[in-house]
Structure 1
Amino acid sequence: MTTTTASPPPVRGHAALRAGRVSMRGQAHHVTFTTHGRDPLFQAFPAACAAAAALNDPALTPGASVLAWVVMPDHVHCLLRLDEAFPLAAMLRTLKSGSARRINRATGRTGRVWGRAYHDHALRKEEDLRSLARYIVGNPIRAGLARRPADYPFWNAVWL
């Protein structure tokens, strides 16, 4: 008699893109995550303020330093560097869940704030962090939300 063992189902979707990735200490990442259903939640000032405060709170980014970020109407871009051997996915779960609680509390809403997925780009050593930070904080200008960074309140960078 032959016994067969069922193999696990294949990993699909966004999880498949991250298969085999390893979080490394000192690695910088450009991460983008969207609101649930691309809802322009952050057009509302209280929601954007709550998201900004969450991005500035190191308790919500364990094992990472946030170098630059911008809150757009329906998504967030951030540049971060992993400080410890703490997986990027785990840190983003902490950030997204903690910020969602704060955003919902600040706006009196309930339900999902963030989409499940995120996009990340692990930077190569030759990529310039400051140039990428300028690109990130320049998003509101390219989107027509402001004429210059000083006109848009929902961004930060450690190089200020």
Structure 2
Amino acid sequence: MSQTIIGPDSEVIMHFDLKLEDGSAADSTRVNNKPAKLVMGDGSLTPNFEACLLGLEKGQKKSFTLHAEEAFGKANPDNIHHMDRSRFGADIEIQEGAILAFSQPDGSEIPGIIRSVAGDSVTVDFNHPLVGQTVIFDVEIIDVKPAKREA
């Protein structure tokens, strides 16, 4: 029985750890012991992260280092907004480094990091928290299946 190799349409179940260059953990599926499930090309991962998975087999473990441009890109100054303190609920504690969820017009939520608070002005950064960072992407492939095709 041949092992299934990850291709452009594979369904993949994997554990991953995302670490920064200093070794600190940024994200991990092992924390709650819930592996990630994705279909290659579904947008769950960036094309560069997906490229790391191509050709890997069930049971394989591998580590990749992705530089900022390959991982989450560089910070976009257009994603940094200055908001009036009154836009935040009175019960919300606003402090530098806090990550808050902001509702979008379509009802979805986007995380924003509080970068600074000066009087009534709050600076919120909507760039990905790992933007500008080199990351180490450790993967363990648990299962690989051909993607199910809609008939």
Q: Which TM class, normalised by the smaller chain length?
A: under 0.3
TM-score normalised per structure 2: 0.22
Structure number with higher helix proportion: 1
Where relative contact order (Cα < 8 A, 6+ residues apart) is larger, the structure is 2
Larger Rg: 2
Structure number with higher strand proportion: 2
